[in-house]
């Protein structure tokens, strides 16, 4: 009898939660606790904890009642499109800095394309916490 009950419990699907938008959230808005809610439904590839979304920026419009996917949100942008940023290349003791123009919005840790203003060359780098963009073989963390 215990074996049958145990097998029945194994066959029952585990209850999981999915984070959904509580209201329509426009792109580039910072998500607050009031913006998200949890439903008792399993949707593969979506967030399961509200804390995973709170404080992040909506990258696309999030419609009310729709599940939130990790690609729909990201760190808040600290670099705006066309903003002049400092481009840094470091290799060992060598450090080179140049001015560049951001080609898109980006947050800390995001890859962003920038155009070096002196050479007009476009490169991709990683945004650091101080708002600079790190490029080169030895990109360094924020």
d(CA 101, CA 58): 23
Percentage of residues in the chain having pLDDT higher than 70:
85
pLDDT for residue 90: 87
Tokens of 65: 């009642």
Q: Within the chain, where are the H helices?
A: 2-11
Domain range 77-135, its CATH number among 3.40.50.150, 3.40.50.300, 3.30.930.10, 2.30.30.760: 2.30.30.760
pTM over 0.75: no
List the domain boundaries for the chain. Answer: 2-74, 77-135
pLDDT for residue 91: 86
**Residue spans of beta strands (DSSP E) within 1-142:** 18-21, 36-39, 57-58, 73-74, 77-79, 84-91, 94-102, 106-107, 111-116, 122-127, 133-135
Mapping DSSP to helix (H, G, I), strand (E, B) and coil, where does residue 89 land? strand
pLDDT for residue 119: 95
pLDDT for residue 9: 47
User: DSSP string covering 13-31, please?
Assistant: PPP--EEEESS-B-TTPBP
Q: Sorting pLDDT into bands at 50, 70 and 90, what band is 7?
A: very low
pLDDT for residue 5: 47
Give tens-digit pLDDT for 108-125: 999 999 999 999 999 999
75, exposed or middle or buried, with CB in 10 Å at 0-12, 13-18, 19+? middle
pLDDT for residue 8: 47
Q: What is the CATH number of domain 2-74?
A: 3.90.1210.10
φ/ψ (deg, to 5) at 111: -85, 135
pLDDT for residue 42: 87
Query: pLDDT at residue 79 above 60?
Result: yes
Query: pLDDT at residue 15 above 90?
Result: no
């Amino acid at each position: 009898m215990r074996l049958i009950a145990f097998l029945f419990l194994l066959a029952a699907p585990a209850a999981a939660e999915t984070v959904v938008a509580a209201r329509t959230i426009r792109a580039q808005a910072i998500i607050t606790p009031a913006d998200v809610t949890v439903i008792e439904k399993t949707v593969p590839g979506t967030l399961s904890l509200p804390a995973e979304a709170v404080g992040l920026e909506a990258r696309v419009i999030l419609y009310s009642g729709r599940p939130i996917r990790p690609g729909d949100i990201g760190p808040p942008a600290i670099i705006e499109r066309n903003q002049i940023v400092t481009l840094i290349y470091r290799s060992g003791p060598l450090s080179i800095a140049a001015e560049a123009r951001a080609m898109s919005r980006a947050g800390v840790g995001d890859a962003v394309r920038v155009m070096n203003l002196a050479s007009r060359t476009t490169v991709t780098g990683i945004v650091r916490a101080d708002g600079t963009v790190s490029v080169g073989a030895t990109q360094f963390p924020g």
